[in-house]
Amino acid sequence: IARKEYFLGLIHDEDEAMSIEEALRFIIRRIGTVEFSQLIREKKQNVDKFLNGVRNLKRETLDKYLFPFGVQTVLDVKLISKKKAA
């Protein structure tokens, strides 16, 4: 629960909220790439590429990175007005 609260605090901070990717990079650097890659069972090289901005995460991989924090992404669909759809 502490990890989840910490992560959510970073992305929902009223003064300086981070994006999900920024928060992940911040936390991974604090944990260490070796420890984090072991935690999510991912190659260290892939974690390093994400940290260095070389690799963008697909939704499935993002969920894998978010799993230790007890959160996941959700795809949502909403209605648009007929004017925008035309």
DSSP-assigned letters across all residues of 50-85: HHTTS-PPPHHHHHHHHGGGT-----------HHHH
Report, as an integer, the average pLDDT of 66-86: 85
> What's the distance, Cα to Cα, between the start and end of the chain in Å?
46
Q: What is the pLDDT of residue 84?
A: 62
Does residue 83 have a pLDDT over 80? Answer: no
Share of the chain above pLDDT 70, in %: 95
As a residue count, the chain comes to 86
How many Å apart are CA 40 and CA 77, to the nearest integer? 29
Per residue in 23-53, pLDDT (tens digit) is 999 999 999 999 999 999 999 999 999 999 9
How many Å apart are CA 31 and CA 86, to the nearest integer? 49
